Structure 1
Amino acid sequence: MTDTRYKFKRSTAGIILAAGSSTRMGHPKQLVRMGDDFLLSRVIKMAIASDLEKVVVVLGCGKQAIFSTLGEELTHPKVQVVFNDRYREGMSTSLQAGLAAVREKFLSIMVLLGDQPFVETSIVNKLLGCFQGSNKEICVPVHGGHRGLPVCFSHTLYNALMKLTGDRGARRILRDSPERVLRVNIDNPQCFFDIDDEQDLKLGLRYLKSHSCAER
């Protein structure tokens, strides 16, 4: 028998934050190559293949170049592109731009970063399953005692999310309301790896190469 107690959370949209100016990279990191794909392409394709019902991609700096380069992924029927012209004010503005696009239709969201190339579809689906089957309003992945992203939020927190400022506001919600948080252990610490600069890119490409060799 299907458990319908927490049906209010089961309509989930993903919001991929990819509007940043890539200051430390020095050029748009969304378009750096990761194997056969661009960095942002990897994240979008993973989200499309997941159980997320909708995928919102928030662009800002370099939006036209990114949109023209990633046209195939960004025009997928499951994807909606949102432009955030306030991206210089912090990541919270991108979250709010994405949330504004889906809050009336979706009862929960998953926030993903466009610079985390090793988040796997299986991890997204595991988080969704755990979140939607619980009575918690927030769900975070944990490895070795450290939490990371993607993070799920119930619609009960939409108003709080719309009031955030800067880059780190959502962390305060997690810190101040631990009783509302479901922590889900994951096996792959690379899920949390993000690419901010050239050194990160080198490490990421090295991991990608070794991982690809191991699968052959």
Structure 2
Amino acid sequence: MPSLSDGAPAQHRTAGLVLAAGASQRLGRPKQLLPYGRGVLLDAVLATARDCGFDQTVLALGGAAAEVQGTVDTTGCEIVLNPDFGEGCSSSVAAGIAALHPDTDAVVLLLGDQPEVRSATARALLQLLFASDAGNDSPGVAVCRYDDGVGHPLAFTRRMFPELAALHGDKAVWRLLEQRAADAVELPVPGTAPLDVDTEEDYRRVLAALEGAQ
């Protein structure tokens, strides 16, 4: 099984899809632009995506899109504007899948409000996905198994793209994973699942974790 230090095989074309189109309704202000480290929350996520070595990085924006583009360093990203972001996360997944290069072999989903995900985790997840994808009946899904359950990032091979593009609703990706739970391969990752920022308390917790890591 690949370790967290391994990289994705060079012969595969990979993409990262960063989902950052939410309206931040629970928080009341754009969470993509919350101060974090030397920049803002989304800066940290995009820095991780760049470090993954993807052949393509797609950034899905919706709520506060203009402000995000005027603030965040989106160098190296292909921006997809999702006018249907209010319909849930799956609408951004569909928009991002449509923007992938036609030769893409696998995509990794990253959340724009989850700065604690590490690039080594995403690279190891791809290694595991490709290693398990030798047969035609492979599920084409790899997930991270943390001490407290399954969490992001999530990786899917090309055969799963049509299903991803057809999802509807905010929790549709998780429902798809439930359907594939018996077949999906899991990457063991030490520690608890990275926190995604939905509330002020979530934000205080990720800031405290960042301060503790420095």
Q: What TM-score does the superposition give when structure 1 sets the normalisation length?
A: 0.88
The answer on 1:164 being equivalent to 2:167 is yes
The answer on 1:122 being equivalent to 2:124 is no
Residue identity opposite 2:43 in structure 1: S
Name 2:144's counterpart in structure 1: 141
Name the one with the larger helix percent: 1
Residue identity opposite 1:119 in structure 2: V
Aligned-pair CA distance for 1:90: 0.7
For 1:37 and 1:128, the matched residues in 2 are separated by: 28
Paired residues of 1:11 and 1:53 also in contact (CA < 8 A): yes
- Range 171-180 or range 151-160, more displaced: 171-180
Give the length in aligned residue pairs.
200
SS of 1:80's equivalent in the other structure is strand
Structure 2: give runs of 5+ residues left out of the alignment: 1-8
For 1:142 and 1:37, the matched residues in 2 are separated by: 29
The RMSD of aligned alpha carbons is 1.6
* Stretches (4+) displaced over 4 A: none
The answer on 1:82 being equivalent to 2:84 is no
Paired residues of 2:147 and 2:191 also in contact (CA < 8 A): no
The answer on 1:56 being equivalent to 2:58 is yes
Structure 1: give runs of 5+ residues left out of the alignment: 1-6
Name 1:32's counterpart in structure 2: 34
Distance 1:50 1:118, change over 3 A: same
2:206 to 187, 200, 204: 204
Distance 1:192 1:113, change over 3 A: same
For 2:213 and 2:120, the matched residues in 1 are separated by: 16
Aligned-pair CA distance for 1:172: 2.1
Paired residues of 2:147 and 2:190 also in contact (CA < 8 A): no
Aligned-pair CA distance for 1:51: 2.5
For 1:147 and 1:103, the matched residues in 2 are separated by: 28
Task: Give the share of equivalent positions with the same residue, in percent.
Answer: 29
Q: What TM-score does the superposition give when structure 2 sets the normalisation length?
A: 0.88
Residue identity opposite 2:15 in structure 1: A
Aligned-pair CA distance for 1:145: 5.4
